[in-house]
């Protein structure tokens, strides 16, 4: 975060740091963000969102989950309606 604040003070048109810690970085192909900064910020963001630890180890341990494809033309199930209970009068 301190690195982002320094960059924002030097280049306010390219970097902004919000009050809650969000960083806005504007870049183009002609003026990219240095890879070292990009990787560091990405790793820090991941750790904040998904827990601390070595992200490389997490990536190796996490298997790729394949989402099953839906069959084309498969009908959706309709919700079941519950019947109202009738009260017996005496």
Report d(CA 77, CA 72) in Å as an integer: 15
DSSP 8-state secondary structure symbol assigned to residue 29: S
At 23 the pLDDT is: 85
Q: Can you read off the two tokens belonging to residue 3? A: 């690195």
Q: Can you read off the two tokens belonging to residue 5? A: 């604040």
pLDDT tens, the chain, 90 aa long: 788 889 889 999 999 988 877 888 898 999 998 899 889 888 888 887 787 655 555 555 555 555 556 666 666 667 777 777 766 655
User: What region does 14 belong to: left with phi over 0, alpha with psi -120 to 50, or beta?
Assistant: alpha
Q: Can you read off the two tokens belonging to residue 42? A: 């990405």
At 9 the pLDDT is: 92
Question: Three-state DSSP class for 2?
Answer: helix
């Amino acid at each position: 975060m301190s690195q982002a604040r320094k960059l924002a003070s030097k280049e306010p048109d390219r970097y902004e740091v919000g009050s809650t810690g969000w960083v806005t970085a504007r870049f183009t192909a002609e003026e990219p963000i240095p890879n070292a900064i990009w990787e560091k910020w990405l790793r820090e963001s991941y750790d904040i969102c998904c827990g601390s630890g070595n992200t490389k180890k997490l990536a190796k341990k996490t298997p790729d989950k394949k989402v099953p494809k839906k069959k084309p033309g498969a009908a959706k199930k309709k919700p079941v309606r519950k019947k109202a209970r009738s009260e017996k009068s005496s």
